[in-house]
Structure 1
Amino acid sequence: MQTELILRRARSDEASALTELALAAKAFWGYDDDFIESCRAEMTFSPGDVAQRHIVVAEVDGEMVGFYSVDGEPPTGELGNMWVRPDQIGTGLGKVLWQHAMATAAAAGHEHLDIDSEPYAEGFYLKMGAERVGESLSGSIPGRVLPRLRVAV
C-alpha cells in the first residue's frame, strides 16, 4: 500500500503531540535527559499557541512525522520550529517541510526568515540556502549560544 504525505495546519488538540515530537527530535542529537528537561518549557506548545501560530504538520498514514512554524509579521519572519520525528530524519522529509515553509512564507509576504538553529541542524539549513548572520542566546540553557541564520524567501 502506498503511503501519502499530507501537509496541513496543526490543530489545537495536537499541542501535546507537537511538544513530544519536538522533544524527541531534540533528543535525537544525543542530549541527556537533564538537558531535554531544561528545554521542555521553551519547547512546550499550548492549544492557544497552536491556534494563534502558523504551524504545519506533516502526516503519514495518520501519524505526525514532522512540523514547522512560520512566525512573525512580514517582511522578516521566523522559522520558529522545524522538527522531524527521529525515524524520519534522513528520508527527505526535512527538505519537503523546508520547501513548504518557504512557499508559505512567500505567500504571507515574508522577504526573509530568521532561524535560531539547533546547532546540529545548522548544516541542513545552510545546505537549503540559509546564511549564518550571528548568534542568539538559548532561551532554555543559560550561556548556551545558538547559530542565528537568515534565508531569503
Structure 2
Amino acid sequence: MVTLRRARPDEAGVLSAVAQAAKAHWGYDEAFLESVREELTLTAADVESRRVVVAVLDGEVVGFYSLDGAPPHGELGNLWVRPDRIGTGLGRVLWEHALAEADAAGFERLDVEADPHAEGFYLRMGAERIGGTPSGSIPGRVLPLLRVRPRDRRTS
C-alpha cells in the first residue's frame, strides 16, 4: 500500500532521481536529458521551502509532487512517478492528493507546465489547456500550459 507524507530535505537526491528517470522514460536523447537535468534537480532547500509530498511503497519513494506559490494562485511544480510505477494509478493518487492539499491551503487555481507526453494525463484528470509556456531549459521549446481549479476537479 502506498503511503503519502511530506518529503524530507535529505530526500532531495532521491526526488531528483525520480524526476530524471521519469523524464527519460519518454525516450528523450541524452543531450536533451542533460539540458534539463538542472531543472529536474531538487535541493534540500527546495524541499524545505516547497510543499513536497512523496509516495512511499515498500520503504521506497516511488513518486512525488510539489505545490509552489502562495494562495490563491499556485503551480503544480512537480508530479513525477518512477517509470516502473507509470500506468499503475499512482499518478492519479498523487494528483488527487495534490488537489485536496491545494484546496485545503486555499488555492483557487493551479497552473501546470506539462511535459508534452504528460499533457493527456492532466487533461484526463480534469485540467484544461490554457496555452503554452516557454521551456525553462530549452530555448524555443514551448510546453503545454494547463490549469485546474482544485475544488472543482477532485474526482474522489
Q: Does 1:33 align with 2:30?
A: yes
Deviation at 1:33, TM superposition (A): 1.1
- Amino acid paired to 1:144: R
* Partner residue in 1 for 2:75: 78
1:43 is aligned to 2:40: yes
**CA offsets, 1:76-104, max 9 Å, x none?**
11000000000000000000000000000
- Extract unaligned runs of 5+ from structure 1: none
State whether structure 2 residue 99 is matched by structure 1 residue 121: no
RMSD (CA atoms):
0.5
Q: Distance in 2 between matches of 1:33 and 1:24?
A: 12
Say yes or no: does 1:146 pair with 2:134.
no
- In structure 2, the partner of 1:14 is 11
Structure 1 Cα separation of the partners of residues 50 and 137 of structure 2: 21
Instruction: Quote the Cα distance in structure 2 between the aligned partners of 1:50 and 1:121.
Output: 23
| Aligned-partner SS, 1:72 | strand
What is the match of residue 103 of structure 1?
Answer: 100
Moved over 2 A (4+): none
Unaligned 5+ segments in structure 2 are 151-156
| Residue aligning to 2:21 | 24
SS of match in other structure, 2:4: strand
User: Secondary structure at the residue paired with 1:36?
Assistant: helix
Cα displacement (A) at 1:106: 0.3
State the AA in 2 paired with 1:127.
Answer: R
Question: For residue 68 of structure 1, what is the aligned residue in structure 2?
Answer: 65
Alpha-carbon separation, structure 2, partners of 1:96 and 1:148: 21
Letter in 1 for 2:20: L
Q: In structure 1, what residue type is equivalent to 2:83?
A: P
2:52 pairs with 55, 58, 61, which one?
A: 55
Aligned residues: 150
Letter in 1 for 2:24: A
TM-score (norm 2): 0.95
- Measured in 1, the distance between the counterparts of 2:149 and 2:43 equals 30
Taking only the aligned residue pairs, the percentage that are identical comes to: 65
Matched, 1:134 2:131: yes
